[in-house]
Amino acid sequence: MDIPGLPARKAALKLLDAVLRRGETLDQVASNALQGLRSPADRALARALSGEVLRWLVDLDAPIDSATRQILPHDAKPRMVLRLMLAGWLRLDTPPHAVIATGLPLLTGGPRRLAHGVFSTLVKRGVRLPAAPTLPEAVAARWGERGDCIAAGLALPPPLDLTLRDPAETALWVERLGGVSLLPGHVRLPRGTAIEDLPGFSEGAWWVQDLAASLPARLLGPGEGRRVLDLCAAPGGKSLQLAAAGWRVTALDASAKRLERMQQNLARTGLEAEMIAADALMWEPPAPFDAVLLDAPCTATGTCRRHPDVLHRIGARQIAEMAELQAALLSRSVTWVKPGGRLIYATCSLEPEEGEAQAATVGLTPDPIRADELPAGLAPAANGWLRTDPAMLPEHGGLDGFFIARWRA
């Protein structure tokens, strides 16, 4: 007999196993893990359950360990299932009887009895989660004093941000979509919105892009027909912004497949960009550009609100590897800017090695970011660099973590 909700939990278990045992990303394994789920609701449930487990992992493991005679191995299946059961109860408000009915079939024999006993004990105790997730020990050590503030921004999944093709229509789309705007050309909607069903999607009036991710391209201002190079451009949100702002865009990315997705977005929005599939470490432009935007490959720890797997996959090795690549890309980028032109460097990482440490090596003239270029509530550092993190703008639902710096050649 089919048990409603059980297939989604089986898929969530696959997602967790891939992240916590094999170190893969949620996005990498999602298509395979979710392919057997027929309904969008089941796919959304699997992603929600796995995401909540990864976001609150430390705080889910603590009560589990308090209710077992022997500590279960970190990757033991009963522990994985108990994490899912507790996340369903404590985060998704699933009634305990429904949690038991859909969780226990994931196990057999002794592990099933163990999970039943532990979960029932924790329900009787009335366990609760803290107000904000506890960061994994290694992450807390890396982020130091910032960690507590950042963790407060992880308690809820992020809202949905849209960037408008025409900022002059901001008020129109705020009204049509029932959202709020934190900046001209931006609309924010509650999470869980079905994107393809929203007004304006089919006609390309907007695209999905976190508010923080939209700032680097905004900081180049109007293009007025000038040429800009968008490095590591796919899937293309920044190229779309630049084209909409009047720049003649050359979008370069090493992944032809990701550029295909970008082409689809260009076609939907009616915007234009020259796309080049090439390795930026090998490619040479025929002439320098009026502006270069390098949103460099990074560990993406700044996206931990929507991709909580980064809290458990990223460590010193990955940060060092990305920093080495970023340094190489930056050293080439500075030579591709015309005299008087602008360079912007950005990463969606919370690690100083990928932000401040990289910016400190650039020998161009600083072009400090100004507070009046940013949403209310954000401010640049004294040196004109900008760092955002998930705890900022809490009254509006936060934003991703980014580092951005700007120079003139």
**pLDDT tens-digit series, residues 118-147:** 999 999 999 999 999 999 999 999 999 999
Average pLDDT, integer, range 46-65: 97
Does residue 1 surpass a pLDDT of 80? no
Q: Where in the chain is the domain with CATH 1.10.940.10?
A: 6-125
pLDDT of residue 28: 87
Rg (C-alpha) for the chain, rounded Å, is: 23
Nearest residue to 352 via CA among 304, 392, 305, 302: 302
How many other C-beta atoms lie within 10 A of the C-beta of residue 173?
A: 24
What pTM value is reported for the model? 0.94
Q: Where in the chain is the domain with CATH 3.40.50.150?
A: 211-408
pLDDT of residue 36: 84
Q: Percent of the chain beyond pLDDT 70? A: 100
pLDDT of residue 157: 85
Q: Which residue has the higher pLDDT, 176 or 30?
A: 176
Does residue 29 surpass a pLDDT of 80? yes
pLDDT of residue 127: 97
CB 84 within 8 Å of CB 16: yes
- pLDDT tens for each residue of 323-378: 999 999 999 999 999 999 999 999 999 999 999 999 999 999 999 999 999 999 99
Nearest residue to 57 via CA among 150, 143, 137, 121: 137
User: What's the CA gap between 358 and 344, in Å, rounded?
Assistant: 12
User: Cα 221 vs. chain centroid, distance in angstroms?
Assistant: 24
Average pLDDT of the residues of the chain: 95
160-209 has which fold? Answer: Alpha-Beta Plaits (3.30.70)
| Distances, alpha carbon 34 to alpha carbons 84, 243, 303, in Å | 16, 35, 22
Nearest residue to 295 via CA among 335, 342, 337, 346: 346
User: What's the CA gap between 158 and 192, in Å, rounded?
Assistant: 10
Q: Which CATH architecture has domain 211-408?
A: 3-Layer(aba) Sandwich (3.40)
Average pLDDT, integer, range 187-199: 89
CB 384 within 8 Å of CB 406: yes
User: What's the CA gap between 167 and 245, in Å, rounded?
Assistant: 9
User: What's the CA gap between 369 and 380, in Å, rounded?
Assistant: 6
Q: Where in the chain is the domain with CATH 3.30.70?
A: 160-209
- Please give the full DSSP string across 308-335, using - where no structure is assigned: TTHHHH--HHHHHHHHHHHHHHHHHHGG
Handedness of CA 117, 122, 126, 129 (dihedral sign): negative
CB 205 within 8 Å of CB 228: no
Residues near 196 by beta carbon (within 8 Å), at least 6 away in sequence: none
pLDDT of residue 38: 82
The residues annotated as belonging to the active site are 348
pLDDT of residue 174: 98
- pLDDT tens for each residue of 387-398: 999 999 999 999
Q: Classify domain 6-125 at the CATH class level.
A: mainly alpha
- pLDDT tens for each residue of 68-111: 999 999 999 999 999 999 999 999 999 999 999 999 999 999 99
pLDDT of residue 133: 97
pLDDT band at 4 (very low <50, low <70, confident <90, very high): confident
User: What's the CA gap between 160 and 165, in Å, rounded?
Assistant: 16
Torsion of CA 84, 61, 53, 30, to 10 degrees: -80
